[in-house]
Amino acid sequence: MTTRTVRRRVIVHGLVQGVFYRDTTRRLAAEHGVSGWVTNRTDGSVEAVFEGAPNEVDRMIAWARRGPRQADVDSIEVYDEQPEGLAGFAVR
């Protein structure tokens, strides 16, 4: 963790399952040094937790608003949470 770490939970709605959303999220998070996880939800949305430097977490949230090329994001919810000191990024 950096001296200032933030944690954001995002829920992404739209055509976001079956379009490599989770794998692309994992790859980009690793490139930007962001820890956390991403998972499909039963309602068809995708949920992710991003933890890391504020500018890198903001970059991941901006990307989540668009998603991979095949995705069609309708909306995104963002929630602030207390950092937990996560290491690595997992697809759940």
Residue 33 belongs to domain with CATH number = 3.30.70.100
- Determine, yes or no, domain membership for 47: yes
- Determine, yes or no, domain membership for 36: yes
- Determine, yes or no, domain membership for 66: yes
- Determine, yes or no, domain membership for 70: yes
pLDDT value of residue 69: 94
Of 4, 7, 26, 40, the active-site residue reads 40
- Residue 12, domain extent: 6-91
- Determine, yes or no, domain membership for 1: no
Element (H, E) at 69: none
pLDDT value of residue 3: 66
- Determine, yes or no, domain membership for 26: yes
Of 80, 58, 87, 83, the C-alpha closest to 5 is 83
Is 55 assigned a catalytic role? no
Is 27 assigned a catalytic role? no
CA pair distance 27, 13, nearest whole angstrom: 20
Residuewise pLDDT in 10s, the chain (92 residues): 446 999 999 999 999 999 999 999 999 999 999 999 999 999 999 999 999 999 999 999 999 999 999 999 999 999 999 999 999 999 99
pLDDT value of residue 35: 98
**In the chain, how many domains are there?**
1
- Determine, yes or no, domain membership for 57: yes
Of 7, 8, 22, 26, the active-site residue reads 22
